Amino acid sequence: MSDSLATQAASPAAPARSRSALGEAWYRLRRRWTFWFSAAVVAFLCLVAIWPTLFTSRDPRLCLLADSRAPMSAAFPLGADFQGCDILTTIVHGARASLTVGLLAALGTTLLGTVLGVTAGYFGGVIDAVVSRITDIFFAIPLILGAVVAMQVVAERNVLTLTAILMFFGWTGTARIARSATIEAATKDYVAAARTLGASHARIIVTHVLPNIAAPLIVVVTMAVGGLIAAEASLSYLSIGLPPDIPSWGKAIADGQTVLKANPGILLWPAGALTLTVFAFLTLGDAVRGAFGPKVANR
């Protein structure tokens, strides 16, 4: 009787012990309300970026000076800016450029930083010294400053060009995290056993190293999106980011500052959209970081 009760009491804990590291992280993540809130905001923003016509039927390039600074109405739900452009339409269509640059640049910086960091951490020696010195050089260059200089010399400014420049200057943090995590993973017994059995370097990296450094990289790529979206908006605010024919929240904020006292809504609406987007991605990254705690990452 006592043995059966003990078995029943232990059975609920059995599934928790049998969960993998990713399964345990997902179990902890879905219990956080901040995750569901930020995920819902991000999902809504992605819907706006993919199908902007669901939220507005106006052409973002349709701007009439006769509608300059028009108040909120049925025709202009959020009003119009000083050029007669519908603010709601600018915000809706600006989400596509901001999310595209942020997501692509975050994935690119994570991929580039992971390749360099894993290479340096796994092989060590001269390779580690060279990669580390290159990382230090790029780490000393502020992201915005480097992007400002690079955008001045490119032949054409567009989404892909801006994404490539942000990738070029933004990979250093990921490389450092990937390097330190690889050095730790490379000292494990299963890596030594794989080497003893004659496994190639590529097989060891793909099979044993990358799965065990995935947790910090997932956190990095999640939190990087918000910062890169803010970087794109900063460059567009300075009129050296996206070209004028592509709607951008940064450009809308720059246009709104000229009439801030007379009509603050022209600036506050796009600034609010940018703030909400960056906040949602940072909150999502913080929730993911909390889910991939030390106990989960070391399992």
Top pLDDT among 186 and 41 is at 41
Residue 293 pLDDT > 70, yes or no?
A: no
> 161: which residues sit within 8 A by CB, 6+ positions away?
151, 154
Confidence of residue 19 (pLDDT cuts 50, 70, 90): low
Q: Measure the CA–CA gap between 182 and 122, rounded to whole angstroms.
A: 6
Q: Which of 81, 84, 248, 106 is nearest to 171 (CA)?
A: 106
CATH number of 25-297: 1.10.3720.10
Residue 80 pairs in a beta bridge with 86
Q: Where are the domains of the chain?
A: 25-297
pTM for the predicted model, two decimal places: 0.83
What SS3 class is residue 37? helix
Confidence of residue 215 (pLDDT cuts 50, 70, 90): confident
What DSSP character marks residue 75?
A: S
What SS3 class is residue 140? coil
Q: What stretch of H or E contains 221? A: helix 214-237
Confidence of residue 137 (pLDDT cuts 50, 70, 90): very high
> What is the phi-psi region of residue 125: left when phi exceeds 0, alpha when psi lies from -120 to 50, beta otherwise?
left
Mean pLDDT of the chain: 85
Confidence of residue 22 (pLDDT cuts 50, 70, 90): low
Helix axis angle for 249-256 and 87-123, nearest 10°, is 130
Q: Measure the CA–CA gap between 8 and 193, rounded to whole angstroms.
A: 38
Average pLDDT (15-43) is 77
Top pLDDT among 258 and 294 is at 258
Report pLDDT for 296: 44
Q: Measure the CA–CA gap between 257 and 82, rounded to whole angstroms.
A: 11
Residue 51 pLDDT > 90, yes or no?
A: yes
Only one residue has tokens 């017994």, namely 189
Q: Are 186 and 121 in contact (CB under 8 A)?
A: yes
Residue 207 pLDDT > 50, yes or no?
A: yes
Secondary structure of 82-96 in HEC code, one letter for each residue = CCCCEHHHHHHHHHH
Q: Measure the CA–CA gap between 110 and 225, rounded to whole angstroms.
A: 11
Q: Measure the CA–CA gap between 75 and 175, rounded to whole angstroms.
A: 49
Maximum distance among all alpha carbons in the chain?
86
